[in-house]
Amino acid sequence: EQINEKGGYIYIDTPVININDTVLEISGTLPGGIIGIRQSNGEYPRIDFKYARDTQFASCIIITGSNQLLKYLIIENSLSAGIVIYGNKNSFVHIITRYNSDSGIEIYDEADSNIFEFCYSYRNCNIKKFGHFSNGFTFYGGYNTIFNYCFAWDNIDSGRI
């Protein structure tokens, strides 16, 4: 499913969104993104890929666009990485990636000038690969990437590669 190719923001004001069978691709170059609204219990919305993972569907958020914002979200239970980034000039603010089968966040060669602030990645574990490549943050490139106050812990592999 491709979202946000024409710009604009999507606000999520629900405790959890269960994704059943797809990869969410955020594309386009016009400013936009997904912003979570803090819930009454103090938690932020969760995008949960558990059902897709359990049925063996590829599942994650892929950022191919530029000038996108992801803010106040929890991304969990993906069959692959929680977030995969190919796009440029994107911002990630207060994002939590956890319980994903590969790394919490993967940044690829094409990605340039992305900013991460207050992002946390923990307890990512790929059991089928005996934990190989289950890092908090994985870099396959990603030039001019800036991390401010980001932390990774309790991943089956390392915090960062």
Each residue of 49-105: pLDDT tens digit? 988 877 766 788 999 999 999 999 999 999 889 999 999 999 999 999 999 988 999
Higher pLDDT, 22 or 140: 140
Mean pLDDT (whole number) for 115-139: 83
d(C-alpha 157, C-alpha 161), whole Å: 9
What confidence category does residue 158 fall into, taking pLDDT thresholds of 50, 70 and 90? low
pTM: 0.90
d(C-alpha 105, C-alpha 134), whole Å: 10
d(C-alpha 6, C-alpha 28), whole Å: 6
Mean pLDDT (whole number) for 143-158: 89
Q: Is 157 helix (H, G, I), strand (E, B) or coil?
A: coil
The pLDDT, as a whole number, for residue 153 is 92
Give the contacts of 38 (CB within 8 A, at least 6 positions apart).
44, 72
Mean pLDDT of the chain: 88
d(C-alpha 76, C-alpha 138), whole Å: 16
Tokens of 129: 């690969």
Mean pLDDT (whole number) for 121-137: 77
Q: Which residue has the tokens 């400013």?
A: 31
Mean pLDDT (whole number) for 37-42: 95
The pLDDT, as a whole number, for residue 126 is 72
Residue 136 clears pLDDT 80, i.e. is over it:
yes
The pLDDT, as a whole number, for residue 84 is 95
Looking at the DSSP bridge assignments, the partners of residue 137 are 105, 160
